[in-house]
């Protein structure tokens, strides 16, 4: 984010801060039979509408008399309002203990999902004279949740999980909810952790992703005459598939383990460094050495004890794709956004700009960025925050919580070309791309400055959807049956994905500079 956009943080009132951060299956016992109710009320509405039309047609003065016309309009308006009210679903739920949640500067007042304000959860009795154990809410329609994402059995205690700790420990904390999600024994969830399948899926539904040079499972590489894979043969095949004179990123099949590779034209070699290092502090390597490192990265590994249960079904492999940079310089990273979507609605995003480590903040729904030092800035127009939110919510549909990572910048190859030509800032911005770099089924609980209040707020909004009973379970029709059966997305299955989903989302054609 450009330095000229920064300004001193104003003194924020509570209401002002809320403006920034808010951005202006449930159990059968919690639900009515919605389909039957809607059908009945639709018939009632149709009957009243017919009666009103008959009244207008039979009254000889109704076509000319203003008073009668207004009465009819008022009658129809009342009928419509009653129908809208009758279509809503009444929820009754147990309000949590008033001491369970404490209001902080990050606590939202509004977070509507299908007409239910999830931000009310935990503060139902905040201004009440008499504390009520039971609370109510009105819902427009149920949130359709993929059944393999459902963790309500852990919250209700029907799925017994030994979580350790003392018996009085809060088993509804964000840390416990993230653990429940990791322990969910649903093999289909591996689809959302498999970087090879993920890449094909995102491309199939029309989501822009970095250009891929290689995406293969470990056992898809060449085998020797004896039918076994030899490291030397596999490394030779990898070396032939590597980009010869460009930058790229290597991602293992599991989370983490990202390796950046830059091509050094003067020495016709490459420099490798990891995501945690600051800058290009690495040694020059030959193509053979790079291939050896990639082969090592994608070797099968035992699951870490913190890995999700479904990770065991992810087949080892590797993805090699274009390295993204800032549009201003090939030596600067792109803008990186980790967008958190809770019950299908963007909550907020963590942000890192193109000025390197230490320059980060939080982006809220209205596009306001609160920096680490509490300075307040706005997202630049070229970052297309509204488009980022729309895309994140499309990907996170039918899921209780999901993290989607975006890169906003240009490929390293484009950055090199822009640096060698005399081009204006506007021309550089015309090359900016917004791409999805990955999906995290188990969102990161690491917020800037170790902010525990943000983590607690995420957990409160997440558990609110379950406790208020806003959802009903539906089968997950997003994961291809072939993947569930074989735990991999083959080339043929990926092609069928293209035919099934088609394009539903396109990047805007015009990018305006600030």
Q: Quick one: pLDDT at residue 358?
A: 54
Taking 70 as the threshold, does the pLDDT of residue 77 lie above it? no
Distance from C-alpha of 513 to C-alpha of 423, rounded to nearest angstrom: 14
For residue 263, give the H/E element and its range: strand 259-264
For residue 464, give the H/E element and its range: helix 452-467
Place of tokens 């390597």: 285
Q: Quick one: pLDDT at residue 46?
A: 61
Taking 50 as the threshold, does the pLDDT of residue 29 lie above it? no
Q: Quick one: pLDDT at residue 458?
A: 96
Taking 90 as the threshold, does the pLDDT of residue 306 lie above it? no
- The maximal CA–CA distance of the chain, rounded, in angstroms, is 95
Q: Quick one: pLDDT at residue 392?
A: 97
**Over the stretch 202-255, which tens digit does the pLDDT of each residue have?**
988 889 999 998 888 888 886 655 556 666 788 888 888 888 878 988 888 765
Domain boundaries, the chain: 32-87
| Helix 174-182, helix 452-467: angle, nearest 10 | 60
Q: What is the mean pLDDT of residues 470-498?
A: 84
Q: Pick from 3-12, 82-91, 335-344, 356-365 the range whose average pLDDT is largest.
A: 335-344
pLDDT-derived band at 106 (thresholds 50, 70, 90) equals: very high
Query: Sign (positive/negative) of CA torsion 58, 60, 63, 66?
Result: negative
Q: Cβ neighbours of residue 202 under 8 Å, at least 6 residues apart? A: 209, 395, 436, 439
Q: Does 362 or 86 have the greater pLDDT score?
A: 362
pLDDT-derived band at 147 (thresholds 50, 70, 90) equals: very high
Distance from C-alpha of 116 to C-alpha of 110, rounded to nearest angstrom: 9
**Over the stretch 402-437, which tens digit does the pLDDT of each residue have?**
999 999 999 998 998 888 778 888 889 999 999 999
Q: Does 78 or 328 have the greater pLDDT score?
A: 328
pLDDT-derived band at 48 (thresholds 50, 70, 90) equals: low
Q: Quick one: pLDDT at residue 512?
A: 36
Q: Quick one: pLDDT at residue 44?
A: 58
Q: What is the mean pLDDT of residues 276-297?
A: 69
| Helix 231-241, helix 287-297: angle, nearest 10 | 120
Q: What is the mean pLDDT of the chain?
A: 78
Distance from C-alpha of 295 to C-alpha of 298, rounded to nearest angstrom: 6
Read off the tokens for 390. 């729309």
Distance from C-alpha of 494 to C-alpha of 251, rounded to nearest angstrom: 19
Taking 90 as the threshold, does the pLDDT of residue 348 lie above it? yes
Read off the tokens for 262. 């830059």
**Collapsed DSSP state (helix, strand, coil) of residue 45:** helix
Neighbours of 325 (CB within 10 A): 26
**Helices (H), ranges, 366-424:** 385-395, 412-420
* pTM as predicted: 0.80
**Over the stretch 357-388, which tens digit does the pLDDT of each residue have?**
457 889 999 999 998 778 888 999 999 999 99
Q: Quick one: pLDDT at residue 132?
A: 80
Report whether 254 contacts 301 (CB < 8 A): yes
Secondary structure (DSSP) of 266-283? TTTEEEEEETTSSSS---
Taking 50 as the threshold, does the pLDDT of residue 6 lie above it? no
Contacts 24+ apart (CB under 8 A), 237-243: 238/214, 238/291, 238/294, 238/295, 239/287, 239/288, 239/290, 239/291, 241/213, 241/214, 241/320, 242/213, 242/214, 242/287, 242/290, 242/291, 242/294, 242/320, 243/213, 243/320
């Amino acid at each position: 984010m450009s330095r000229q956009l920064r300004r001193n943080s104003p003194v924020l009132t509570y209401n002002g801060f809320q403006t920034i951060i808010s951005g202006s299956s449930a159990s059968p016992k919690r639900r009515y039979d919605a389909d039957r109710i809607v059908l009945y009320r639709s018939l009632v509405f149709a009957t009243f509408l017919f009666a009103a039309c008959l009244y207008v047609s039979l009254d000889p003065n109704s076509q000319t008399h203003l008073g009668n016309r207004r009465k009819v309009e008022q009658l129809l308006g009342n009928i419509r309002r009653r129908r809208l009210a009758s279509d809503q679903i009444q929820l009754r739920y147990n309000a949590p203990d008033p001491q369970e949640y404490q209001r902080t500067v990050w606590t939202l007042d509004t977070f509507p999902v299908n007409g239910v304000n999830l931000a009310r959860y935990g503060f139902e009795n905040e201004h009440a004279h008499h504390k009520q154990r039971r609370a109510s809410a009105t819902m427009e329609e149920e949130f359709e949740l993929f059944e393999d994402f459902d963790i309500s059995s852990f919250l209700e205690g029907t799925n017994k999980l030994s979580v350790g700790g003392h018996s009085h420990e809060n088993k509804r904390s964000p840390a416990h909810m993230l653990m429940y999600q990791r322990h969910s024994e649903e093999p289909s969830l591996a689809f959302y952790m498999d970087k090879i399948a993920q890449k094909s899926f995102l491309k199939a539904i029309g989501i822009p992703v970095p250009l891929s040079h290689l995406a293969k499972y470990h056992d898809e590489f060449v085998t020797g005459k004896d039918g076994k894979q030899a490291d030397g043969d596999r490394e030779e095949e990898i070396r032939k598939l590597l980009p010869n004179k460009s930058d790229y990123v290597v991602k293992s099949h599991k989370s983490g383990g990202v390796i950046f590779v830059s091509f050094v034209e003067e020495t016709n070699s490459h420099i490798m460094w990891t995501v945690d290092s600051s800058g290009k502090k690495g040694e020059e390597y030959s193509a053979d050495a790079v291939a050896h490192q990639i082969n090592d990265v994608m070797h099968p590994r035992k699951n870490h004890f913190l890995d999700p249960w479904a990770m065991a079904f992810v087949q080892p492999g590797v993805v090699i794709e274009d390295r993204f940079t800032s549009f201003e310089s090939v030596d600067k990273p792109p803008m990186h956004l980790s967008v958190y979507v809770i019950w299908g609605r963007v909550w907020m995003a963590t942000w890192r700009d193109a000025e390197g480590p230490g320059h980060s903040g939080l982006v809220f729904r209205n596009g306001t960025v609160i920096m680490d030092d509490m300075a307040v800035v706005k997202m630049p127009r070229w970052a297309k925050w509204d488009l980022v939110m729309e895309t994140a919510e499309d990907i996170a549909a039918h899921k209780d919580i999901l993290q989607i990572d975006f890169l906003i910048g240009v490929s390293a190859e484009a950055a090199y070309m822009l640096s060698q030509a005399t081009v204006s800032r506007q021309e550089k911005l015309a090359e900016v791309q917004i791409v999805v770099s990955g999906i995290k089924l188990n969102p990161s609980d690491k917020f800037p400055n170790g902010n525990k209040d943000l983590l607690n707020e995420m957990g409160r909004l997440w558990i609110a959807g379950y406790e208020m009973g806003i959802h009903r379970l539906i089968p997950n029709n997003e994961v291809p049956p072939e993947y569930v059966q074989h735990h991999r997305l083959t080339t043929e299955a990926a092609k069928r994905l293209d035919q099934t989903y088609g394009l539903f989302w396109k990047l805007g054609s015009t990018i305006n500079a600030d």
